[in-house]
Amino acid sequence: MKPIVQIIKDKCNLSYSCVRVCPVNAIEVKVNVDYAHVVPDRCIGCGQCTSVCPEGAIVYRDSKQETKDILKSKNKKIAIVAPSISGEFHDITDYRKFVQMIKHLGFDYVNEVSFGADIIALKYAEFLNDFKGKYYISTACPVVVQYIQKFQPKLIDNLVPLVSPMIATAKVVRKLYGDNSKVVYLGPCIESKNEALDLSENGKIDSVLTFQELRELFDEFKIAEKQLEYSDFDSPIGYKGSLFPIANGLLQAAGISEDLLSGNVITAEGKFNVLNATKQFYQDIETIKKHFNLYFCEGCLMGPGTTKGGEKFIRRTRVTDYANKRLRDFDYNKWETEIKRYWDIDYSRVFKENDQRIETPTEEKIQEILKVIGKQGQDCDLGCNACGYNTCREFAIAVAKGLAKVDMCLTFSLKNRQDYIKALRTTNEKLAQTQKALKDSEQFALKEKELAQEASDTVSSLLQKLPSGLVIVDKELKIVQSNNSFINLLGEEAHAIDEVIPGLVGADLKSLLPFNIYNLFSNVLSTANNIHNRDVHIDEKLLNMSVFVIKKGKIVGAVFRDMFSPEVRTEEVIKRVTDVIDKNLAMVQKIGFLLGEGASETEQMLNSIIELYKINKKKT
């Protein structure tokens, strides 16, 4: 069986709206997970989360197909309808048309849950008026029952041991139509889907449809009011149980006094009121000395299975108007006869503990989290509630339990954002200053760029005209630059590569030179010791090579001379290189910030070349 509520992870945008409204922390947000997740065992089916998700990512268990399968059955099919229909289906002008629409779906009988509410209300009156020193909590709301079983298990013995009006009505219609009948409940509550699974035999509910799902079936089967005739509810007909959708309606149906001076029952509705009521019932019932009549929603007429956007007091008015209309010609004697007929059915219920409370983490862990969110040392029993928790301490406990993460804290998030904005503002100010400086030097930079390009072209041209082979490599022995003489020394294979990769830039030196040669480059990179005038063989050529450091540990260069080539005019090369350096050095220094390491490397390389030629000249 699917969980009563699920989050579609592909739609979840982590707005945390569901976490904020969940009264029992049944929705967890794990670190490094990009969607929220409902913990089924902790969920009480209140449906608060289904109405607040801006992305429509939260859905409850769909029962439409299950109901359609039941409607194909050959058994008797009975729809039992919650009295809150009057508040929900205001668009249907006559309730008798509404009954006929339900029968048109395929139901044989349509009965009112208000009759079951009448019986349970009278049982309440009998039960509560026979006071024996024990105070009780009503059990007409399945969400309240789930909450107490899971999160206030010490109050289980204080639950009125009676079934809900839905189950009571199911027992009535099964006695009326037979135990083999198929019963479908139509109502405003999604937790009723789980409640229906708790009971079997004569109290069994075969499926539960919310009013939203019922509307969808009407649309699917193209059933409209204007197409149908009138049809009244099947007997037995409810009396003041039609007020059950209003929180204190059951008390009025039972004739239980709500007088502030003499009454012995307190009614509370809505999430926060119910949570506070159960807490105070547990702590201070000997002071309060009242029974509690609790409804988790703002009355059943505002249940999560109703159409979204309904106005509570408009719906309340429709409920009371509907009840008054029904009671004008009500056959009270017939109703009394029906009550007596079904009075002796067993409406009792036993509740079981299902403790879902998580052990409170250590104080050390709680303080650690409070420190992270900047709340350590403050009054942590207060809070802004933006994270969905009443206090900062409760939030820290939830984080420690693994149900939340620190960036759900609004203060924490805003502080991080403010720090970011402050840093961004400082950065922007610095950028503005830098922009002004750059603008002021724009013309100068353009001119320097032209000079730098001219120098670069000159240096590149000079390198290519050198008669000796020159290569510069990085620490990975990848070629940074080489001249034509170096490529010529390597032969046809290097020429083929040069056609694809001009200057062999990026080529792996290890694929072009024998091990004993490229290993010299590795040695210079690692030791920073230059190698001068080393004779080496490549194929049938005898070369004289020198390897020198350009940038320690990062870049080295090498010069190769073909020992079998005609004598190189050493003095002329030295003179030309020296002239180039003299003419361009000042300019290179001025535009150093543009050329960066390239200018330095070029200077080192050229000086190394000159030094090499000077050494060779002395030897010759």
pLDDT, averaged across the chain: 84
Residues 6+ apart with CB under 8 A from 276: 268
Indicate the pairing of strand 182-187 with strand 77-81.
Answer: parallel
Categorize the per-residue pLDDT at 297 as very low, low, confident or very high, splitting at 50, 70 and 90.
very high
Q: Return the pLDDT at 76.
A: 96
* 326 has pLDDT over 70: yes
The answer to whether 201 and 56 have CB atoms below 8 angstroms apart is no
Q: Return the pLDDT at 411.
A: 67
Alpha-carbon distance of 384 to 81, in angstroms, equals 41
Higher-scoring residue by pLDDT: 84, 598: 84
Lowest mean pLDDT among 152-156, 311-315, 518-522: 518-522
pTM of the model: 0.66
The percent helix, strand, coil of the chain (3-state, each to 5) is 50, 15, 35
The answer to whether 173 and 78 have CB atoms below 8 angstroms apart is yes
Categorize the per-residue pLDDT at 616 as very low, low, confident or very high, splitting at 50, 70 and 90.
low
* 506 has pLDDT over 70: yes
Q: Return the pLDDT at 538.
A: 80
* 482 has pLDDT over 90: no
**Percent of the chain's residues with pLDDT above 70:** 86
Q: Return the pLDDT at 579.
A: 60
Higher-scoring residue by pLDDT: 619, 75: 75
**Percent of the chain's residues with pLDDT above 90:** 41
Q: What is the pLDDT of residues 36-75, one digit of tens each?
A: 889 999 999 999 999 888 888 999 999 999 999 999 999 9
Q: Return the pLDDT at 418.
A: 63
DSSP 3-state of 560: strand
Inter-axis angle of helices 64-71 and 211-220, to 10 degrees? 60
Q: What is the pLDDT of residues 212-233, one digit of tens each?
A: 999 999 999 999 988 888 899 9
Q: What is the pLDDT of residues 331-360, one digit of tens each?
A: 999 999 999 999 999 999 999 999 998 888
Kindly compute the dihedral angle of the four CA atoms of residues 273, 274, 275, 279, in this order, to the nearest 10 degrees. Answer: 100
Residues 6+ apart with CB under 8 A from 90: 315, 318
The answer to whether 536 and 516 have CB atoms below 8 angstroms apart is yes
Q: Return the pLDDT at 575.
A: 54
DSSP 82: -
* 241-255, 402-416, 567-581, 583-597: which is most confident: 241-255
Residues 6+ apart with CB under 8 A from 66: 207
Looking from the CA of 262 toward its CB, the CA atoms found within 13 Å total 3
Q: Return the pLDDT at 336.
A: 95
Q: Which of 326, 258, 276 is nearest to 144 (CA)?
A: 276
**300-305 average pLDDT score:** 92
Alpha-carbon distance of 93 to 104, in angstroms, equals 17
Domains observed in the chain = 1-61 (3.30.70.20), 62-342 (no CATH), 359-440 (no CATH), 443-619 (3.30.450.20)
